[in-house]
Amino acid sequence: MNEQEQMQWAASLEQARHLASPKPSCPEHWAATVEDAYAVQRFGLAQRPDDPIIGFKGALTNRRVQETFGAVEPALGLLFASADRSGQVIQKADFGRGMIETELGFVLCRPIDQPIESIADLQSCFDGMCLMVELVDLNFGQFPPSLPDLIMHNAAAAQFIQGAVSPIGDPDELTLALFSEGAALHRASALDVMDGQWKALGWMINQAIALGYALTPGQVLMTGSVGSVHPMSVGAYSLDCDDLEALTFRLG
């Protein structure tokens, strides 16, 4: 893809998002690469000038999910202010193919403008962590999408819910459990994500820096799905973890 095609496709994707249409696949004759996909993602920012980036999301950070999409690497997505549904009832009707993911979030305490090389340096970048729920929309016209298509559609990001922030302990020791109307949906280790949360955070930061994004205090980094991904169903949910305040939410 050349730059004109990247900009043209970014505008087309934004139009599809506004119309809530199935997510279109990039025309095959453009032979889009992962590098093209991140360029399209970046050009998409011009389509939403009043919607700031308040964080980043890791996608395909679980090997099982990578296999579903035929990918051999994770993907980076953007968290926009307009996607925050913390404290609100989630409307299932807003999604074409809505799915629930349970995740951990980490809050930046200082700006970062250089790659992070060590775990000690990485740990000094954050001053809090929290439970998070991501509500993705897998309403792709062609499923599964290619890795470039997934990235161009901002890794299927739609909405998210952020829980209460707590001091950081050892995130890799945590187990997340999701309940719906009191029934257990899954219980999974935070180690599901890239064999460790710090490894995932290091990849996310270095990828964001390489792509030219600003990392600033207060932004939240959501590291990817822990446990199974569930189709949306109306009802009350609770995401529990022994060391963190439970995150409750409702789908209507």
The answer as to whether 81 is a domain residue is yes
The whole domain housing 130 covers 53-251
The answer as to whether 36 is a domain residue is no
The answer as to whether 144 is a domain residue is yes
Are 25 and 140 in contact by the 8 Å Cβ rule? The answer is yes
The answer as to whether 21 is a domain residue is no
The answer as to whether 58 is a domain residue is yes
Rounded Cα–Cα distance for residues 164 and 205 (Å):
22
pLDDT tens for the chain, 252 residues long, are 999 999 999 999 999 998 989 999 999 999 999 999 999 999 999 999 999 999 999 999 887 777 777 788 899 999 999 999 999 999 999 999 999 999 999 999 999 999 999 999 999 999 999 999 999 999 999 988 999 999 999 999 999 999 999 999 899 999 999 999 999 999 999 998 998 999 999 999 999 999 999 999 999 999 999 999 999 999 999 999 988 999 999 999
The answer as to whether 88 is a domain residue is yes
The answer as to whether 38 is a domain residue is no
Please report, for the domain that includes residue 96, its CATH number.
3.90.850.10
By C-alpha distance, which of 73, 1, 68 is closest to 32? Answer: 1
Rounded Cα–Cα distance for residues 198 and 208 (Å):
15
pTM: predicted TM-score of the whole model, two decimal places: 0.94
Q: What is the count of structural domains for the chain?
A: 1
